[in-house]
Amino acid sequence: MPAQKPRLAVWKFASCDGCQLTLLDCEDHLLAVAGAVDVAYFPEATRGEISGRYDVSLVEGSITTTHDAARIQDVRARSNILVTIGACATAGGIQALRNFANVKEYISIVYARPDYISTLATSTPIAAHVKVDYELRGCPIDKRQLIELISALLAGRKPVTPAHSVCLQCKLKGNVCVMVAHGKPCLGPVTHAGCGALCPSYDRGCYGCFGPKETPNTVSLSRQMAHLGMDEKNIKRVFSTFNVNAEEFRAERQRHDS
Amino acid sequence: MTRKTIKLDYLARVEGEGAFKVVVRDGTVKSAELRIFEPPRFFEAFLRGRSCLEVPDITARICGICPIAYQMGSVHAIEKILGIKVGGPLRELRRLIYCGEWIESHVLHIYMLHAPDFLGYDSAIHMAKDHGDIVKKGLELKKIGNEIMTILGGREIHPINVRVGGFYRVPARRELAPLADKLKWARDAAIDTVRLVSTFDFPDNQRDYEFVALRHPDEYPLNEGRLVSNKGMDIPIEDYDDTIEEVHVEHSTALHSHIRARGAYFTGPLARYSLNFDRLTPTAQQVAREAGLGETCNNPFKSIVVRAVEVVYACEEALRIVQAYEPPDRPFIDGPMRAGSGCHATEAPRGICYHRYTIDDSGSVTFARIAAPTSQNQPTIEKDLTSFVGDWLDLPDKELQHRCEQAIRNYDPCISCSAHFLRLDVDRGQG
């Protein structure tokens, strides 16, 4: 009898579904992955469900309700390896902008009957609630990194996902620097690699969707952006997007909070 | 009075989280509720105070499956405020990237989410064991939609190249040229898809819907057109709020939409097709006729065939654009910031996607409102169940459950968009 295949589960919390869709977007690898694991829980893709324990859980989305805060505890308890996929699960996502505002006001802007809505005042990453074994950055995550992660976990080795900056990826790609040569503000120097330096390859500055790299010098970058003519309000804005709740971006944002 | 409850804890193969409850008493459906409890993310609130140039990057994050729809709605609305008119090759490139999204999103639904219902599998992954060639062809077709998004947008999910006024960078002819041969293959694969799905066994359920879609003088609608219906609506988008109202109901974090005068309406592929058959390419029309579709289609279960016809159209339209492409002089049209309000609607894969913004003279957003197609379709989905479940009460519980799921899946509901988990709860009022 063949050995039992590892059980994979995919979970969703507050999110846009884009990171789990990345798995379905691996058109060339999907059937190979599906052959190497038992897809035990992945409601976006299958009605079938195997209950019990999971070898690997991929978790998308942030925690924004008391129900989800309890659910992630259960997911952790039933998973050997828990991997957060994407900016929502890893940093809280764009919906973490509520952490800097009054959520009651947010509810009343969107909904006619605030009394029907039950939500937490904050959007928090999965790691704020349970132990996380690996994380994939990005809004959305990068396909190649996802396949690398799944292959590594199947082979029982550590995934290779470098923590250096988008800047380095740009240099490797041979891009002309959009900030130095064209004066466009760019978060590349402080942003975690993974996207393949997409924005600078399309003649625009990086907007930081992979979140802070290891030890980013955000203060120095803000100074450079100010030098290029960006005012305080706009410097605050560029750190206030999909990874606004990541520690280093949050701190830099606060430095420009007038 | 007899009483019985049938329960399903999680409706799968939809994008998002929700629940469903049908109450049946003495053989009659008393009520049907599509409960959506996708946690709200408050886009319309945190868009306030953002620069209007950031809006397309932010609204893309409403939905991982149809980010282009949100980017297109917002850039067009903001351009109206700024007085920017995008024409020529830039307008064509926008149609091209939208065709990419239609192909990717429709093919995902046809092969991965919907076909397993008709062929009797839990998922496309299970289906691949017996129908490997079908699933592989579906994946290959979907990949071409994603390639268009990647070349033009930088990546398939949350593209980075869409900008107010156009694009950050436009492709050279040689970058688009390799798509031509792939799109020819894709068009043929899409035609095969129509033929395949038209042989499925469809429940004979239809209703007299009010179909609402865009209509353009010359084109099958993507980015532009008047809002029309088969019951007399024919308005410019600017009249949207006067004609359609949003209602907040307790069982959903997505707002319901109603036509003020008449109530529920139907948006998406069936509506678009039934109101715009004459705007399809001759090949798409012919393939539709061969598949047994009339010029209108009122059976939501056949939406899978209509989606496949739209994929044929999107492949042909994309091919036309790629072959005729001459790069524009500039990647985008610029304009000075000025205060104002503007609205726009485009045809997302799932239907009308409406955006309205107000910005101040520095270009900061002071107001934003976005109506997603699935939230517009919620009342119609509920009415479908109310109307159809009565015909299915003889089915065994498990099949009845599955049939209800399918009735919801006909709409390719994107619950993440509209505000996720569908739990099905059929209360037959027995036992």
* pLDDT of B7: 46
Q: What is the CA radius of gyration of chain B?
A: 21
Give the Cα separation of A178 and A198 in Å (integer). 12
Q: Closest to B158 (Cβ–Cβ): which among A45, A49, A140?
A: A140
pLDDT category of residue B415 using cuts at 50, 70 and 90: low
Name the pairing type of β-strands A79-85 and A134-136.
parallel
Asked if A84 and A146 count as a contact pair (C-beta separation under 8 A), the reply is: no
Q: Is the pLDDT of residue B4 over 50?
A: no
Cα of A98 to nearest chain B Cα, Å: 8
Across A88-97, A99-108, B19-28, B90-99, least confident range = B19-28
Q: Is the pLDDT of residue A69 over 50?
A: yes
CB contacts, 8 Å: A21 with chain B:
15, 64-65, 108, 157
Q: Closest to A111 (Cβ–Cβ): which among B57, B160, B248?
A: B248
Give the Cα separation of A134 and A152 in Å (integer). 11
Burial class (CB in 10 A: 0-12, 13-18, 19+), B204: exposed
pLDDT category of residue B421 using cuts at 50, 70 and 90: very low
What is the residue whose two structure tokens read 């007399």? B232
Give the Cα separation of B19 and B411 in Å (integer). 15
What is the residue whose two structure tokens read 């910031």? B337
For residues B430 and A76, which has the higher predicted lDDT (pLDDT)?
A: A76
For B133-162, what is the mean pLDDT?
97
Across A35-44, A118-127, B52-61, least confident range = A35-44
Q: Is the pLDDT of residue A2 over 60?
A: no
Residue in A closest to B44 by C-alpha: A110
With a CB cutoff of 8 Å and minimum separation 6, the contacts of B282 are none
Percentage of chain B lying above the pLDDT 70 cut: 92
Q: Closest to B64 (Cβ–Cβ): which among A140, A203, A204?
A: A140
- Answer whether A214 touches B (CB < 8 Å): no
Name the pairing type of β-strands A134-136 and B5-11.
unpaired
Can you tell me whether residue A201 is helix, strand or coil?
helix
Residue in B closest to A108 by C-alpha: B45
Q: Closest to B157 (Cβ–Cβ): which among A14, A18, A116?
A: A18
Closest to A83 measured CA to CA, from A9, A32, A27: A9
Q: Closest to B10 (Cβ–Cβ): which among A43, A101, A201?
A: A43
- Residue A27: φ, ψ to 5°: -55, -35
With a CB cutoff of 8 Å and minimum separation 6, the contacts of A245 are A91, A92, A93, A96, A99, A123, A124, A125
* pLDDT of A56: 96
Instruction: Tell me which residues of chain A, numbers 163 to 192, contact chain B at a CB-CB cutoff of 8 Å.
Output: none
- Residue A161: φ, ψ to 5°: -135, 90
For A146-167, what is the mean pLDDT?
94
Asked if B118 and B403 count as a contact pair (C-beta separation under 8 A), the reply is: no
Can you tell me whether residue A65 is helix, strand or coil?
coil
Q: Is the pLDDT of residue B61 over 90?
A: yes
Closest to A130 measured CA to CA, from A34, A11, A251: A11
Burial class (CB in 10 A: 0-12, 13-18, 19+), A148: middle
Q: Do A46 and B125 touch (CB under 8 A)?
A: yes
What is the phi-psi region of residue B321: left when phi exceeds 0, alpha when psi lies from -120 to 50, beta otherwise? alpha
pLDDT category of residue A117 using cuts at 50, 70 and 90: confident
* pLDDT of B271: 98
Give the Cα separation of B21 and B415 in Å (integer). 16
Q: Which of B9, B46, B423 to mutate to test the interface with A (most CBs of A within 10 A)?
A: B46
Q: Do B253 and A117 touch (CB under 8 A)?
A: yes
b/e per residue B391-400 (b: at least 16 CB within 10 A): ebeeeeeeeb
Can you tell me whether residue A216 is helix, strand or coil?
coil
pLDDT category of residue B2 using cuts at 50, 70 and 90: very low
Instruction: Tell me which residues of chain A, numbers 61 to 120, contact chain B at a CB-CB cutoff of 8 Å.
Output: 64-65, 68, 93-95, 97-98, 101, 103, 105-107, 109-113, 116-117, 119
Give the Cα separation of B424 and B179 in Å (integer). 42
For residues B36 and A179, which has the higher predicted lDDT (pLDDT)?
A: A179
Q: Is the pLDDT of residue B283 over 70?
A: yes
| Global confidence as pTM | 0.95
Domain ranges of chain A: 7-155, 166-255
**Span B204-256, pLDDT tens digits:** 999 999 999 999 999 999 999 999 999 999 999 999 999 999 888 877 777 78
Q: Is the pLDDT of residue B321 over 80?
A: yes
For A132-146, what is the mean pLDDT?
97
For A194-213, what is the mean pLDDT?
97
Q: Which of B17, B41, B156 to mutate to test the interface with A (most CBs of A within 10 A)?
A: B41
Percentage of chain B lying above the pLDDT 90 cut: 73
Record: fold of A7-155: Rossmann fold (3.40.50)
Give the Cα separation of B302 and B269 in Å (integer). 10
What is the residue whose two structure tokens read 């907007």? A207
Record: fold of B52-391: Cytochrome-c3 Hydrogenase; chain B (1.10.645)
**Span B148-191, pLDDT tens digits:** 999 999 999 999 999 999 999 999 999 999 999 999 999 999 99
Across A144-148, B246-250, B289-293, B364-368, least confident range = B246-250
Q: Can you say whether the dihedral through the CA atoms of B316, A16, B357, A253 is positive or negative?
A: negative
Give the Cα separation of B389 and B74 in Å (integer). 38
Domain ranges of chain B: 52-391
Give the Cα separation of B183 and B150 in Å (integer). 15
Asked if B75 and B162 count as a contact pair (C-beta separation under 8 A), the reply is: yes
- Answer whether A206 touches B (CB < 8 Å): no
What is the residue whose two structure tokens read 């019990």? A52
Q: Do A17 and B13 touch (CB under 8 A)?
A: no
What angle, 0 to 180 degrees and rounded to 10, lies between the N-to-C axes of helices B373-388 and B397-409? 150
DSSP string of B132-154, one letter each residue: HHHHHHHHHHHHHHHHHHHHHHS
Q: Is the pLDDT of residue B132 over 90?
A: yes
* pLDDT of B390: 85
* pLDDT of B417: 55
Give the Cα separation of A121 and B225 in Å (integer). 40
Asked if B368 and B48 count as a contact pair (C-beta separation under 8 A), the reply is: yes
Q: Closest to A237 (Cβ–Cβ): which among B41, B51, B249?
A: B51
Give the Cα separation of B87 and B71 in Å (integer). 17
Determine the residue type at B309: V
Q: Is the pLDDT of residue B418 over 80?
A: no
Give the Cα separation of B332 and B313 in Å (integer). 27
- Within 10 Å of residue B338's Cβ, how many Cβ atoms? 13
Across A82-86, A159-163, A175-179, A213-217, least confident range = A159-163
Burial class (CB in 10 A: 0-12, 13-18, 19+), B11: buried
Residue in A closest to B156 by C-alpha: A25
Q: Is the pLDDT of residue A1 over 70?
A: no
What is the phi-psi region of residue B280: left when phi exceeds 0, alpha when psi lies from -120 to 50, beta otherwise? beta
ipTM surpasses 0.85: yes
Closest to B42 measured CA to CA, from A121, A145, A68: A121
Q: Is the pLDDT of residue B377 over 60?
A: yes
